[in-house]
Amino acid sequence: VCIHRVRSCSGIHFIKSKYVCVFDKSALKFSHQQRLFRTSAVSCGQIVQFKLSDIGEGITEVTVKEWYIKEGDSVSQFDSICEVQSDKASVTITSRYDGVIRKLHYNLDEIAYVGKPLVDIEIDASKGVASEEDVVETPPMSHEEHTHQEIKGHKTLATPAVRRLAMENNIKLSEVVGTGKDNRILKEDILNYLAKQTGAILPPSPKAEIIPPLPKSETVPAAPKDKARKIPVPVSRPIVFSGKDKTEPVTGFHKAMVKTMSAALKIPHFGYCDEIDLTQLVQLREELKPVAQTRGVKLSFMPFFIKAASLGLLQYPILNASLDESCQNVTYKASHNIGVAMDTEQGLIVPNVKNVQVCSVFEIASELNRLQSLGSAGQLGTNDLTGGTFTLSNIGTIGGTYAKPVILPPEVAIGALGKIQVLPRFNGKGEVFKAQIMNVSWSADHRIIDGATMARFSNLWKSYLENPASMLLDLK
Amino acid sequence: MVLQSSLKNCLQLSCILKTPKAGFRSTTSGGLIIQSISNDVYQNLAVEDWIHDHMNLENRQVLFLWRNSPAVVIGRHQNPWQECNLRLLRQKNIKLARRRSGGGTVYHDLGNINLTFFTTKKKYERMENLKLVVKALKALRPQLDVHVTDRYDILLDRHYKISGTAAKLGRTTAYHHCTLLCNADKFVLSSVLKSPYKGLKSNATPSVPASVKNLFEEDPSLTCEMLLDAIAEEYATQHQIGHHITLINPADETVLPGIKNKTKELQTWEWVYGKTPKFSVSTCLNMVYKDSVLDVKVDMDVKHGRIEVCKIDLPEQWLPPALCCELVKSLTGSKFCPNETTTLAATLLRVCPQDDELQSRWNLLCENMTMLM
């Protein structure tokens, strides 16, 4: 209602205050004394000194703790400018104007005074006087709260730029759901509203959509009806995409990955994949799970994979070796410190179980539990993360079948385990049966490992897992 | 039963929260008392944010009652390394939260109650709120010697602090919240609020340590529920509203749209640690290696929780200089966090000559470095 009125008066630059009252009678009850329009007296690029307003409780000075903007930044009305602190109270100072910050009067940790200039803002007058008319504003020096249009008993907050956008697109602000602070209507909200009307595809709004303020039972039947009535009309409006590229430095976990992978690049990888029938192992684990539980340990498949790998490494120790920088010497590591790739919130980490060659399956399970809980809490120590000689990556817990894992230097081999799938297979009698199949993808350093060695190791590992009883013969 | 009533109340609450003119029979336009059903510090802090950002407090003030499972809460502009024992927190699984109000660091557990008084900025008045609390306590137990100091603390027996205060002021609304010790674990409180980190220099707001006491120690018949009830009663009387507490579920997105995002933001590393004002660490690691003690001087500048500048002074040739250089380079720009440091150190070791002596020295250095974080 208000917008239409203004449009019809767009030729007039000064609107007398009495027209304001006509818009909505109930506005009178909530109106404040002073109500002026910013007139065309505001010329282009006028610098206004925004003073620190009264904070209450008779406080006269505060400490500036954080600046949210810097000189040269554009601000909109109600954007946060800085955070000041006084005697256990933290105060967010917001801008009263749209414009560009030209000067900050204080540095961090300096004392700022109430009533004295905080920042200088160059008022954005380039948008033209017309947009100013949409806003009912109190004069800059007033301490009164800004008044806003009252439509249907709700106060709608929106900056002049947003109001103009709504006006240009024939949108009633009362119909738009505001997602900004104090339910303020932002540009994104107008765009989202537009998208719904026209069926145009816009990128998802960065802020969560707010559900209309009525109990669910009332809105649900109403919504589908409305949707049915509205026929999306394709409009050749330019689609405004407000997303921006974001560049940030590579640090922390990602930096670690970059270093590891750059070193891994120097290793000539070859791959070898196979399929393992885990039907018997699945059954065995089911039987042993409760036993481990009584001892306080969660038993997954990994302890079996790890122990079987160690047994295999006893026969093919070159897979547990390390090649020196100059590729002159190969060191056969005595300990089987088998690393287990873990996905944590921060990223990929690879702690290892030490000396698997002398550990029982239960001990491995117990150690894995410890590493997993420390890993998810981000509390793994250097000892747990260093000294690995061979790695297994159980990517199958997330998904996938075959992979091409990257060797983690100074190791020479790595295995990636896909997910366990139930697939039909033929048994010895030529009958089809339900098999629990998992795929393994090995990668090895081709400078010292050849395909035959990898294949034989894989076959041995596979035989242990397909027939767990055979592990018993070779367990140390 | 609780769930039923909370659902009913939440629906009515959503009416109250969104349409300022809509009335709720027993709460007239004077005030509203709400209590959180959650003990998660992040969820509860998010409720405060939500009310501060979305509620119209023109004609209605709000009292929010909440309790948290063990957590340390630091003020907006504080340095967690300076204020508490982060290692102990991680070990004991005690949460660390940074609130948006100013003030010092407090320890919360279920034996502590939190009260938040929401008003418009104009009606912001901390002394009045604290006097209300004291009045409520005296009405409950007239023999209690409790009074408000001019630092906005509440003291028991003129000496022991039982309540600390902090406040947040925004564009139109403000809130003042305070703690109240009923039956908190004083032993854990004193051990977590003691920082072991040496050599820290910062402009962050420091906490003022005080002797504390639980009200329970003064009168064993007191419980948190009784205190909450007494305060709600006094608030209801003073605001001329019915003594009715509306339960609120901080995980309910329909009543509090956008609350999940607010909760998530409070848990991010960038908020909890990253908002620490710039500080420096200047200390000497005394590393015990074999039969000798090595003095290693470490200097670091930390901004936004990340290491801006890093200097490690090792005895010559104790570790390959190129490796040390790599460590310093890697740490620069990384979070001042033991987990990241450990991961980076472990990664760097991969591209070194494989030498047990080197490995043990490296691990020793890294363990000592992470002790600073």
pTM of the model: 0.74
pLDDT given for residue A74 in this prediction: 87
**With 90 as the cut, is the pLDDT of residue A348 above it?**
no
d(CA B346, CA A194): 52
* CATH number at B279-372: 3.30.390.50
Cβ–Cβ contact A263 with B under 8 A: yes
Which listed CATH number (3.40.50.720, 3.30.930.10, 1.10.10.10, 3.40.50.280) goes with B30-273? Answer: 3.30.930.10
Where does the pLDDT of residue B354 fall: very low under 50, low under 70, confident under 90, or very high at 90 and above?
A: confident
Cβ-defined contact of B258 to A410 (cutoff 8 Å): no
Q: Catalytic residues of A, which ones? A: 446, 450
pLDDT given for residue B312 in this prediction: 92
Cβ–Cβ contact B334 with A under 8 A: yes
Of A144 and B259, the one with more pLDDT? B259
d(CA A48, CA A117): 9
Calculate the alpha carbon distances from A284 to A299, A301, A439 in Å.
Answer: 11, 10, 19
Of B263 and B319, the one with more pLDDT? B263
Q: What percent of chain B clears pLDDT 70, i.e. is strictly above it? A: 92
Residue numbers in A near B276 (CB within 8 A): none
**Mean pLDDT, residues A43-66:** 82
Output the average pLDDT for chain B.
Answer: 88
Instruction: Map out the domains of chain A with their CATH numbers.
Output: 46-123 (2.40.50.100), 162-196 (4.10.320.10), 269-473 (3.30.559.10)
Q: Determine how β-strand A154-156 pairs with β-strand A413-417.
A: unpaired
pLDDT given for residue B156 in this prediction: 92
Condensed to tens digits (0 to 9), the pLDDT of residues A150-192 reads 334 445 667 777 777 777 676 767 667 777 766 777 777 777 7
Condensed to tens digits (0 to 9), the pLDDT of residues A316-327 reads 999 999 998 888
pLDDT given for residue A59 in this prediction: 84
Q: B101 to chain A nearest CA, in Å?
A: 5
Rg (CA), chain B: 24
Query: Which residue of chain A comes nearest to B13, CA vs CA?
Result: A215
Other beta carbons less than 10 A from residue B2's beta carbon: 8
Contact status, residue B110 vs residue B44, Cβ threshold 8 Å: no
Cβ–Cβ contact B54 with A under 8 A: yes
Contact status, residue B293 vs residue B303, Cβ threshold 8 Å: no
Other beta carbons less than 10 A from residue A432's beta carbon: 9
Calculate the alpha carbon distances from B147 to A133, B143, B153, B163, B232 in Å.
Answer: 53, 12, 8, 10, 19
Mean pLDDT lowest among A143-147, A400-404, B51-55, B170-174? A143-147
Cβ-defined contact of A259 to B330 (cutoff 8 Å): yes
Where does the pLDDT of residue B2 fall: very low under 50, low under 70, confident under 90, or very high at 90 and above?
A: very low
pLDDT given for residue A28 in this prediction: 40
Sign of CA dihedral A247, A251, A257, A262: positive
Contacts of A371 (CB under 8 A, 6+ apart): A340, A342, A351, A353, A380, A384
pLDDT given for residue B326 in this prediction: 86
Condensed to tens digits (0 to 9), the pLDDT of residues A218-237 reads 443 444 444 445 666 666 77
Tokens for B258, please give them: 């956008």
CA angle A298, A303, A309 (to 5 degrees): 175
**With 90 as the cut, is the pLDDT of residue B14 above it?**
no
Cβ-defined contact of A382 to B174 (cutoff 8 Å): no
Contact status, residue A408 vs residue A383, Cβ threshold 8 Å: no
Cβ-defined contact of B125 to A57 (cutoff 8 Å): yes
**With 50 as the cut, is the pLDDT of residue B143 above it?**
yes
pLDDT given for residue B322 in this prediction: 85
Calculate the alpha carbon distances from A52 to A106, A111, A113 in Å.
Answer: 11, 12, 7
Cβ-defined contact of B350 to A381 (cutoff 8 Å): no
d(CA B48, CA B177): 10
Phi, psi at B284, each rounded to 5°: -125, 120
Query: Which residue of chain A comes nearest to B103, CA vs CA?
Result: A88
Residue numbers in B near A86 (CB within 8 A): 102
- Best to test chain A binding among B252, B343, B348 (most A CBs inside 10 Å): B343
The candidate with the shortest Cα–Cα distance to B293, out of B372, B364, B197, is B364
Q: A167 to chain B nearest CA, in Å?
A: 25
Contact status, residue B277 vs residue B286, Cβ threshold 8 Å: no
Tokens for A381, please give them: 């120590």
d(CA A137, CA A35): 6
- Best to test chain B binding among A82, A147, A255, A322 (most B CBs inside 10 Å): A255
pLDDT given for residue A2 in this prediction: 42
A 136-175: CB under 8 A from B: 145, 153-155
Cβ-defined contact of A92 to B260 (cutoff 8 Å): no
- What are the residue boundaries of the structural domains of chain B, listed by start? 30-273, 279-372
Output the average pLDDT for chain A.
Answer: 77
